[in-house]
Amino acid sequence: MSIDRFILKKLDACPEEHTRANLLQLFKIRIKKAERAETSQVRTHII
């Protein structure tokens, strides 16, 4: 199972609000990191 699926599964099942907030923050960080990597790849292919 990928880490992203793991985070989503835990978010879905977690009743503790503080833990949910931390998991959501982690997921947002992973999304931003993936976006930066994709942008970097596009720039590399253009040059």
pTM score, two decimals? 0.76
Q: Report which residue type is found at 46.
A: I
Q: Which helix (H) or strand (E) holds 41?
A: helix 17-46
Position 43 scores a pLDDT of 72
Q: Locate tokens 């997921």: which residue?
A: 27
pLDDT for 27-42, tens place per residue?
Answer: 999 999 999 998 887 7
Tokens of 37: 């990597």
Position 40 scores a pLDDT of 84
Please determine, for residue 2, whether its predicted confidence score (pLDDT) is greater than 80: yes
The count of domains in the chain is 1
Q: Which domain holds residue 22?
A: 3-46
